[in-house]
Structure 1
Amino acid sequence: MAKRVLVVEDNELNLKLFCDLLRAHEFLTEGVRDGREAVARAHEFAPDLIVMDIQLPHVSGFELIGQLKADDALKKIPVMAVTAYAGREDEERIRAIGADAYVSKPISLARFIDEVTALL
């Protein structure tokens, strides 16, 4: 059975890239462009992994990870942050709020898939 990945990314091109790349590696994907919809969609889609941008409009990825980790039904789902925040302090901050993995943009396609596979 294919693993399910919820992708939360407001940039249309990045959302398409992540979903297409994951589908090419036989993952089932669902894309969400608005972080405000992510928690509800996670409940409906029941993903095995959530791939998320940190710089989202309306609700930041930091807030969203906090919401996911505070939700008893979702807190065990690994979260991979994908962001342009590339400093060491940024990675530490992102991991401290609950992200299980961190990939900086622009992404390396091989590293992206390696991180997804490692989390699943």
Structure 2
Amino acid sequence: MPKLLLIEDNEMNRDMLSRRLQKRGYTLIVAEDGAIGLALTKSEAPDLVLMDMSLPVMDGWEATRQIKADDALKGIPIIALTAHATDSDRQKALAAGCDDFETKPVDFNRLLAKIEDLLKKMPRSA
């Protein structure tokens, strides 16, 4: 199954999403801030990143920009996870390099469909 990196500072959100995604068979790696998330993206090469945008140390906007600026990482799809639900927030996330956008509280079935769609569209070489 694909390996997902969940970058989320809220313990309750991290726990809920991790458990539900693991039940679906995904391998999960978790990070609590953007700097750790960026380092894990480089070392673990996940198939997809779920990026909270409001993170400590390095926010999700900057972590996304750095991932997408790296030739070795830029093909990894990133889904923004944020409580900021306006159209301008969506545009800002997409401009930073996110491939899709999901508002919090997360609609798990909708998020799962986005994950599956992006993984089908962006196959990665092993």
The TM-score with structure 1 as length reference comes to 0.95
State the distance in 2 between where 1:70 and 1:32 align. Answer: 20
Tell whether the 8 Å contact from 2:41 to 2:73 is kept in structure 1 after alignment. yes
State the distance in 2 between where 1:39 and 1:19 align. Answer: 18
Q: What SS does the corresponding residue of 2:72 show, helix, strand or coil?
A: coil
Structure 1 stretches of 4+ moved >6 Å: none
Q: What SS does the corresponding residue of 1:52 show, helix, strand or coil?
A: strand
Report what 2:24 is aligned to: 25
Question: CA RMSD, aligned part only?
Answer: 0.8
State the distance in 1 between where 2:104 and 2:29 align. Answer: 20
Give matches, 1:72-111, under 5 Å.
Answer: 72-111=71-110
State the distance in 1 between where 2:28 and 2:88 align. Answer: 30
Q: What SS does the corresponding residue of 1:42 show, helix, strand or coil?
A: helix
* Identical amino acids, percent of aligned pairs: 36
Count of aligned positions: 119
AA in 2 matched with 1:100: D
State the distance in 2 between where 1:40 and 1:90 align. Answer: 25
Deviation of 1:113 (Å): 0.7
Q: Provide, for residues 62-116 of structure 1, a one-character-per-residue CA deviation record: whole Å limited to 9, x for no partner.
A: 1110010011111110000010010011101111111001000011111111111
Structure 2: unaligned runs, 5 residues or longer = 120-126
Deviation of 1:8 (Å): 0.3
Give matches, 1:1-120, under 5 Å.
Answer: 2-120=1-119
State the distance in 2 between where 1:17 and 1:5 align. Answer: 14
